Amino acid sequence: MMTFREKLFKHVYAQEFSVSRVLYQQETGHHSLIIFENELFGHVMALDGIIQTTERDEFIYHETLAHVPLFALGSAESVLVVGGGDGGILREVVKHREVRRIVQVEIDSAVIEMSKQYLPNHSAGAFDDPRLEIVIDDGLRFVRQTEERFDVIISDSTDPEGPGEALFTAEFYQGCHRCLRDGGVLVTQNGVCFLQLEEVRATAAHLKNYFRDYHFFSAAVPTYVGGIMAFGWATDDAVLRDVSPDVIAERYEQSGIKTKYYNPAIHHASFALPQYVIDAVDGLRNR
């Protein structure tokens, strides 16, 4: 049987997936894209040799990154999704009835089209939502040039290499700040913090220059080896990180949204970080 071997970290982790069959494989112009079937994880997508998402555990990542900012804000009408071509973030965002407009900026249209065909459960029809506008463009260029303002920005990027590198720069975070409405929230994919702590430090160093409140929240996603995944959090309204459990629970119940991972208890627990992450972030706050 064929295998797919992911080697992301030097000297340590490699993981292999058995490949029941290759569903799609192509050089897209931006990425080396493969979608294959695995008996345990279902359909699996990898870009440039790195696993991006699987049918089995994607809900943990997508529900956390989407619902934490949306339930914290409680009244988001406009959402910008940068990246996220597989449609998982979009699937969760469209569940929020108060959201009236969604813009998704994806650099590679092939990722969207192949995800619709081979990972249809990720988007679950969300690409057909009438509130959505898809923009095929570079995310950094978009946030620097758009005249629109958003309540929530979700950066669902690849790792900071290749096309995804620009979405971890000071210029990107500055651009996000300029197109956030007052009191809006930016959240970002920020890697597996035990093995990618420098990404956390680098992101915090950038965010502190543009936002009054910055922090991280987390979830453990089995596919992403090495421990918990960190998500960046940035806003000018520090109250949003401390919305009471009762308020989050009320919003969740009234929404009628069904989830497999996220719930009000998870919402608050996700902001509890290991001490080594707190030390890394607090070390920057004190400079």
- Which residues are identified as catalytic? 156
Answer for the pair 229, 193: CB distance below 8 angstroms, yes or no. yes
Q: Maximum distance among all alpha carbons in the chain?
A: 54
Note the helical H segments in 77-227.
88-93, 109-118, 120-123, 139-145, 170-178, 197-207
Which of 259, 211, 276 is CA-nearest to residue 238? 211
198 residue type, one letter: E
SS3 258: coil
Separation CA 255–CA 162 (nearest Å)? 38
Tokens of 120: 């249809």
Q: DSSP letters of 15-38?
A: EEEEESEEEEEEE-SS-EEEEEEE
Tokens of 20: 């029941």
Separation CA 284–CA 161 (nearest Å)? 24
Separation CA 87–CA 116 (nearest Å)? 8
Separation CA 164–CA 174 (nearest Å)? 16
Answer for the pair 150, 180: CB distance below 8 angstroms, yes or no. yes
96 residue type, one letter: H
Separation CA 73–CA 52 (nearest Å)? 28
Answer for the pair 183, 237: CB distance below 8 angstroms, yes or no. yes
